[in-house]
Amino acid sequence: MGMTMTQKILAAHAGLDSVEAGQLITAKLDLVLANDITGPVSINEFEKADFGKVFDKSKIALVMDHFVPNKDIKSAEQCKKCRTFARRFDIDNFYDVGEMGIEHSLLPEKGLVASGEAVIGADSHTCTYGALGAFSTGVGSTDLTSGMATGQTWFKVPSALKFNLTGELQENVSGKDVILHIIGMIGVDGALYKSMEFTGPGVASLSMDDRFCICNMAIEAGGKNGIFPVDEKTIEYMKGRVDREYKVYAADEDAVYDEVYEINLSEIKPTVAFPHLPENTRTIDEVKAMDPVAIDQVVIGSCTNGRLSDMKIAADILKGRHVAKGLRVIIIPATQAIYKECIRLGYIDTFIDAGCVVSTPTCGPCLGGYMGILAEGERAVATTNRNFVGRMGHVKSEVYLASPAVAAASAVLGRIAGPDEI
């Protein structure tokens, strides 16, 4: 029986010739990740177990990104716990104020993840790195503890769903619209503990940023991971970033999938997920047929859509325009490098001239942390990945998930709108 791309990576890391869905394995890890929320929990368990060392100080990443710069005493204590641990074990990949970025944008940018590798992170959106042809998935903080100490963890090998992509995206349509379309189609549990494997001729037309975005939200469909085949764009992205040998895996022709979905990219339209689930999707055409949905805030950033191409899309729409009166617009470049490039390209001037505020890289408002909390009854359009009840603040606030193009257009018009309306 043939193996999927994910199964091949897991078999190799388990030292096995083959694996099959449902099999329990122990696999070696290439990278273990935690942040300033999940890291302290893992560190506490690490200390309780009295582990005297980490398995490899070059294969652990601690990224301070959720509450940095620290917003209060509790977040300061959380980060101090991570800083102390990083100093104690001389962790190579520790990113704090001044060097930090949103973890799932920062690690690929730094070349810390490569094709064929196995990565776990104590953050559900660790599945982002499947865009590079890696197996990456989120785990609990206690599972991460054993990963830090031993360099191994256990997995139940997932079965898979195949998404055969054809065609090319139309103007003002991006990877965010693709994954919202898919989640709307299969539901938030449609890929429960399954590998979402994207393939087909349409893959070639997707940018790396599109692929990162799509894999990032695999978890929003319940997926164990999302993964793309490695092609010329993947290799070009890793060139100059990844300084080690890596391996490229491809699914067998006779690989077994639970379902195969045909997705014509050219038919996908700008899509918005209404409260309070990512599956509650409507195309922008359906939104236009409704009564206008007035909004109070727009957030453009996050590990889903804070990359340079996202900043460009927003800047192109906002240039020469101003955000609607009374509307708050928060722009968050995902890393310091992206922030610097936004300055060089004039995007920051565009954002400020349009009436936006620009933040240092942080997860901030996405999880209802800081930098954009919603009050009762307020609505936000966000390029983030979750719109659960109370996700960005008050339990009676609402979050609408959208692409940077829709978010920027909505910012100008003060209501949910498509970029073709301005």
With b for 16 or more beta-carbon neighbours within 10 A and e for fewer, the 123-132 pattern comes to: bbbbbbbbbb
In whole angstroms, give the CA distance from residue 390 to residue 318. Answer: 29
Contacts of 236 (CB under 8 A, 6+ apart): none
Helix (H) or strand (E) holding 176: helix 175-186
Name the stretches of the chain with pLDDT < 70.
none
pLDDT for the residue numbered 142: 87
| Sequence spans of domains, the chain | 5-265, 271-421
Contacts of 289 (CB under 8 A, 6+ apart): none
pLDDT for the residue numbered 190: 94
Query: Minimal CA–CA distance to 195: which of 167, 166, 168, 156?
Result: 156
Peptide bond just before 278 cis, omega within 30 deg? no
With b for 16 or more beta-carbon neighbours within 10 A and e for fewer, the 207-236 pattern comes to: bbbbbbbbbbbbbbbbbbbbbbbbeebbee
pLDDT in tens, 198-245: 999 999 999 999 999 999 999 999 999 999 999 999 999 999 999 999
What would the two tokens of residue 39 be?
A: 């890291």
Region for 394 from its dihedrals, namely left if φ exceeds 0, alpha if ψ lies in -120 to 50, beta otherwise? beta
Q: Please state which CATH class domain 5-265 belongs to.
A: alpha beta
- Bridge partners (DSSP) listed for residue 197: 162, 227
pLDDT for the residue numbered 1: 78
- Bridge partners (DSSP) listed for residue 283: 271
What would the two tokens of residue 138 be?
A: 């989120």
Helices 141-150 and 38-48, packing angle to 10 deg: 60
CB-based contact 6:225 (threshold 8 Å): yes
What does the chain come to in residues?
A: 422
In whole angstroms, give the CA distance from residue 343 to residue 320. Answer: 17
Identity of the residue numbered 80:
K
What would the two tokens of residue 226 be?
A: 């999302």
pLDDT for the residue numbered 343: 97
In whole angstroms, give the CA distance from residue 172 to residue 157. Answer: 37
Q: What is the pTM of this model?
A: 0.94
Q: How many other CB atoms are there within 10 angstroms of residue 153's CB atom?
A: 21
Region for 326 from its dihedrals, namely left if φ exceeds 0, alpha if ψ lies in -120 to 50, beta otherwise? left
Contacts of 87 (CB under 8 A, 6+ apart): none
Are domains 5-265 and 271-421 of this chain identical in fold?
yes
What would the two tokens of residue 390 be?
A: 């109370």
Could you give phi then psi for residue 74, rounded to 5 degrees?
-65, -45
What would the two tokens of residue 80 be?
A: 């101090």
In whole angstroms, give the CA distance from residue 307 to residue 211. Answer: 12
* From the candidate CATH numbers 3.30.499.10, 3.40.50.300, 3.30.530.20, 3.40.640.10, the one assigned to the domain spanning 271-421: 3.30.499.10
pLDDT for the residue numbered 100: 84
Query: Minimal CA–CA distance to 212: which of 82, 298, 306?
Result: 306
Q: How many other CB atoms are there within 10 angstroms of residue 269's CB atom?
A: 15
Query: Minimal CA–CA distance to 129: which of 24, 234, 34?
Result: 234
Query: How close are the terminal C-alpha atoms of the chain, in Å?
Result: 53
